[in-house]
Amino acid sequence: MSLQNITTKRINNMNEIKSLLLKGIWVVCDRYAYSGVAYSSGALNLNKTWCMNPDQGLIKPDVVFYLNVPPNYAQNRSDYGNMCLIIL
């Protein structure tokens, strides 16, 4: 999946996120804007600032947690690489 596809998906989801926030519902996301920047700048060796440009205008998270997990541990998870939306 390209950086452009990832950003387009986030922008499309932003309307749903805004709607939930306006209703007072908390939204917890894994792999929001910063994960695309981390992947693109790290794995693809692209400029970090350049990678952040497509995400301009996205809702800024109130808090970000960085989980430092060894790659071999993360890859052993049964749902590694899957994405889902759960509304509680």
Which amino acid, one-letter code, is at 35?
Answer: S
pLDDT at 78 over 70: no
pLDDT score at 56: 79
Model confidence pLDDT, tens digit, residues 12-53: 888 888 999 999 999 887 767 777 777 777 777 788 888 787
Domain ranges of the chain: 3-87
What proportion of the chain, given as a percentage, has pLDDT over 90?
8
Q: How far is CA 18 from CA 23, 24, 26, 67, 79, in A?
A: 9, 10, 10, 25, 27
* Residue found by looking up tokens 């998270």 in the block: 61
pTM above 0.75, yes or no: no
Other C-beta atoms lying within 10 Å of the C-beta of residue 51: 21
Q: CATH number of 3-87: 3.40.50.2300, 3.40.50.1000, 3.40.50.300, 3.30.413.10?
A: 3.40.50.300
